Structures are given as structure tokens and as C-alpha cells.
Amino acid sequence: MPTKIEVLATLQLVDQSLRAKTRTVAEGEGRVAALEEAVSAQTAAASAVRVELAALGVRQRDLEGRLTAAEAKMKDRRMRMTRIRNDKELGLARREVDLLKEEIGTLETELMAVMEQVEGSTAKLAGLDAELARLAAERDREASELRETLARLSSEIERERATRSELVQTIDGDLRRKYEMIFSRRGGLAVVEVRGGICQGCRMRVPPQLFNQIQRNAEVILCPSCQRMLFWRAEGEEASG
């Protein structure tokens, strides 16, 4: 029949294992969720640039159309000029050609600016798409790793939970609650060994009188400095694990 502290030490082994496994799963889930979020943000950013590019494309085609029309009109006016003999009409025609030249210049400047914007946005989109592909691949890799982790750990977690409930039934409620409180507040270490008179939880020397009591393993004794439950293992047992 194991003593209370021995049962608690066994329970702690199960709890530490459970804690590590559930953490591994939670960390995997966290990584997948973070990547999922990054993929969404990147997709939204790429979509915004696509919308911007579509609008620029409309603008570019409009400017190109107007430029072609203005150039055709100017060509036509210049042809007509060669047939004009009247000075007044010639003056008006020259004026019109000058205005068309000005319009063409303005359209060309605008078109150049739009084409530069298209170039910039296209490069930006390529960068965003490359990063999106990288993130999506990383998310897929993490997701498949998580599935593997779950497949590997689920049954172990279930088995350990069953072991835990069996163990817990043999422990008095108050003692169990005390153990659980220390376990959660002291970084998953509630039951610690005393080796060479030193608490392995806080490295403080345990008073000799207390050490004698601990060696009997009869009752649950708390470390005076870190408040963990002290456990003593005979040398032979320690060696054999």
C-alpha cells in the first residue's frame, strides 16, 4: 500500500505528462491559428491591390483612348491645314492644333503617371502573392503537423486522464485540492524530493528534524521555504527509478 505522498508523486508524474501533452497540442493550435490569421490578412491586402490595379487599368484604357482620339484629330487638322488658303482660317486651324498638342501633352503625362502606378502596384502584388504562398504553405505544414500530433497524443491523453481519475479516487479531497493548488501555482511541481537534506524544489536545506519526519514518508510535509510537498526516496529506489 503506497503512502499518500507516494500516490501524490505518481499523480504528479501523470499530471506533468498530461500538462506537457496538452501544451504541445495547444501550441500547435496556436501556431495554426496565427498563420490562418496572417493568411487572411495577406489575402485581404492582395485583394485590395488587385482592386486598385483594376481601377488603374480602367483609367489607363480611358487615357489611351482619349490620346488616340486626340492624335487622330490632330493628324486630321494638320492635313486640312495644307488645303487652307485663307489666313484667318489658317490662324484658327493653327490655334486648334496648338490646343490639341497641349491636350496630348497633358494626356501623355497622365498616362505615364498611371503606368508608373500600375508598375508599382504590380510589383507590390507580386510580393504580396509570394508572401501569401509562403504563409499558406507554412500553415498547411503546421496544420498537418497538428493533425499528426493529435493522432499521436489523443489516445495517450485519454489514457492518462483515466489513470488520473483512478489515482485521484484514492486521495483525500482536501489533500488533492492542496496538491492541485501547489501544482498550478508552482509551475507544475508540487511534490519534490529531498536529496541530501536539500529540497529539490527550492534548493533550501530542510531542518534535520523535519528531514527525519520526511524519511518516514508517513505524512505530507511541506517545505518551510517553498511550500511544496516533500518526498523522500530511498537511495536504492532512486537508482532504479
Q: Which stretch binds Zn ion (CB under 5 A): 22-30, 117-125, 156-164, 202-210?
A: 202-210
Query: Does the footprint of Zn ion cover residue 232 (CB under 5 A)?
Result: no
Give the C-alpha separation, 68 to 26, whole Å: 62
Whole-angstrom CA distances from 143 to 20, 30, 139, 155, 161 are 19, 10, 6, 19, 25
Q: Which is nearer to Zn ion, 40 or 225 (CB)?
A: 225
Q: Nearest approach, Cβ of 190 to Zn ion (angstroms)?
A: 11
- Does residue 182 bind Zn ion (CB under 5 A)? no
Asked whether position 226 contacts Zn ion by CB under 5 A, the answer is yes
38 is an interface residue for Zn ion by CB under 5 A: no
Which residue in 109, 123, 103, 118 sits closest to 52, CA to CA? Answer: 118
Which one of residues 46, 199, 220, 229 is an interface residue with Zn ion (CB under 5 A)? 199
* Residue corresponding to grid cell 501556431: 31
Closer of 58 and 181 to Zn ion (Cβ) = 181
| Strand-pair partners of 230 | 192, 221
191 belongs to the binding site for Zn ion (CB under 5 A) = no
Question: Which cell is 3 given?
Answer: 503512502
Nearer to Zn ion, 81 or 202 (CB): 202
